[in-house]
A and B are shown apart, each in its own frame.
Chain A
Amino acid sequence: MILVPVTYKGGVYRLDEVIDYIEDMGGYIVQRHNIASEVVLQMLMPQDDIERLREFSRPLAGEVQASPLVGTEIVVVVPSLEIHHLPHSACDVAEYLRSHGSKSNILGMARGFGKRIAQLNDEERDLINEHDLAIYVLGNFASCIEKKFPKLRRSITVPIILTGGVSRDQLAKQTDPPVEGYVGGLGRFMHRTQTEADIHRLDLVIEEVERVISEKRAEISHDPLSVSPARIQDMIKQEIPEIEEVYSPSPIAVQLTGLRVKLAYAEYAQRIRDLVIEDGIMIGDVADVLPSRLRNYILIRIKPLSETNIVV
């Protein structure tokens, strides 16, 4: 069963019926946002049932649309958390990703600034590699990108989308960084992205990210995961009630091939490993439950079918 990321937008009227319908169809709600009287449900639905949900919600004036970024965790990497890069260049990109359904984090490097002196430490490298994709927001000059980017991408295994002030053609004349996507005109800036041109550049970032994520999903479908991350999220919510006491906006962040659970690793890792999915198959059998480098959280990496010979 292929689960596809979609977003439902609608009112609160008969919302419980919509949620029941999604769950009956085998869908999983990854995140729910209540905005005044509107509700936005980000979910993973079986592909064949999306049209049925669309028909079901039509009389309720609900909208169902594809959102490739739902169920992904993306990191926006900036050279530092100084005023030079915050709030606009980093937060505007992160916020725009969030509005398109992704869970985004910002990583400001400890010593990512400068051209000669820029460096990436092991903690930053591991944190970036815990995500599905990284967006590097770098500076305005091609020579700076050329010199510092190789240092900042060392040992990064996740796909990288690079943004910088120079256009793609200008950058190509100087260097050809090994990245999955590049967006120009989005280097260091100090103003709020509110003009049409600014929003267009953010849209280009989303386009690049969606393309890369879709390719990654297609790649995963050749060797599917032993269990859907959304299913594990659902189980943790049901079996570990303490997750309700986590005040983080998303206590469980769903990723393409895993999850980040915002509970203490030492206390909860074994409980999660021992959760039975079905027929005696436990989470520990189909996934690695690891300590995350982000605080003391738990990182779950689901193994593919080829490794476990199990699909639940």
Chain B
Amino acid sequence: MVGLDYFVVESTEDGADNYNKIATSVLQDHKLLSIVEALHIYIDPAYPLFVATGLIRPPRAAIRVSDVGNVLVQDGKATIAVGDETYLAVMLKVLWNRLGHDNVDQPDRFTVTISNVEIPTDIEDWEVTDPAESLFKDLIYAVQVIAPEGFKVRRENYGSGRFFYAASENTLPADDVDRIIAKRFVIMEGALR
């Protein structure tokens, strides 16, 4: 898969090719191709069991006010010339919460002004949002879409740049699942070395 350093769909029955396409489309649609470094999907339709294990690249750093626009402080007033609108709404919310709704204004689409209040010296470094916080939810949601529907019994975990997702419509055989997950991580990490 384009963008991933390792991508394998393993199945105990013919039909894995289709899951290859499904996973590619879903990760592409959810804009996760640049985040996921490696993905190994294991499918056993007989049990049935679906396991996805993956490694992710170091998440993007937190978005700060200076990432949204240039801050100019003059005559006790600050003007933010918005360069990237993606996080503008979130930044406005942060400024309103910390400086007061009456003191923060947006006279036009690309300008935010702060007045009637002492301008904090470190305002440029204020954190607007941390994309890594929602990454786990996005990733698990995407894997849920890849997995067959109706696999309501599931286990998922995320941390230290790794994630796994195991699901079935039956109870999950804990030992087998742990073994499958551990083995796939070993294979993945070996391939990337």
User: Which A residues form the contact surface with B (CB < 8 A)?
Assistant: 79-80, 82-85, 113-118, 139-144, 165-166, 170, 187-191
For the complex, what is the distance from the CA of A142 to the CA of B149, rounded to whole Å?
A: 16
Complex contact A82–B14 (CB within 8 A): no
Complex contact A166–B149 (CB within 8 A): no
Q: Which of B102-126 contact A (CB under 8 A)?
A: none
Interface size class of B (residues with CB under 8 A): 20 to 34
Give per-residue flags for B12-48: 1 if the beta carbon is below 8 A from chain A beta carbons, else 0. 0111001101100110010000000000000101101
Q: Is the interface of A mostly helix, strand, loop or mixed?
A: loop
Of the residues A80, A85, A115, A187, contact of B18 by C-beta under 8 Å: A187
Write out the residue numbers on chain A whose beta carbons fall within 8 Å of the beta carbon of B43: 141
Of the residues B13, B29, B48, contact of A190 by C-beta under 8 Å: B29
* Closest B residue, CB atoms, query A164: B15
* For the complex of A and B, 9 pairs with smallest distance between CB atoms: A114-B150, A113-B150, A190-B25, A113-B149, A84-B149, A141-B45, A140-B18, A140-B15, A141-B15
Complex contact B46–A143 (CB within 8 A): yes
Complex contact A191–B25 (CB within 8 A): yes
Q: Which of B135-186 contact A (CB under 8 A)?
A: 145, 148-151, 169-170
- 19 interchain pairs, CB-CB under 8 A: A79-B149, A79-B150, A80-B149, A85-B149, A113-B150, A114-B148, A115-B169, A141-B15, A142-B14, A144-B48, A165-B18, A166-B14, A188-B22, A189-B21, A189-B22, A189-B25, A190-B21, A190-B25, A190-B29
For the complex, what is the distance from the CA of A187 to the CA of B45, rounded to whole Å?
A: 14
Write out the residue numbers on chain B whose beta carbons fall within 8 Å of the beta carbon of A140: 15, 18-19
Write out the residue numbers on chain A whose beta carbons fall within 8 Å of the beta carbon of B29: 190
For the complex, what is the distance from the CA of A154 to the CA of B177, rounded to whole Å?
A: 34
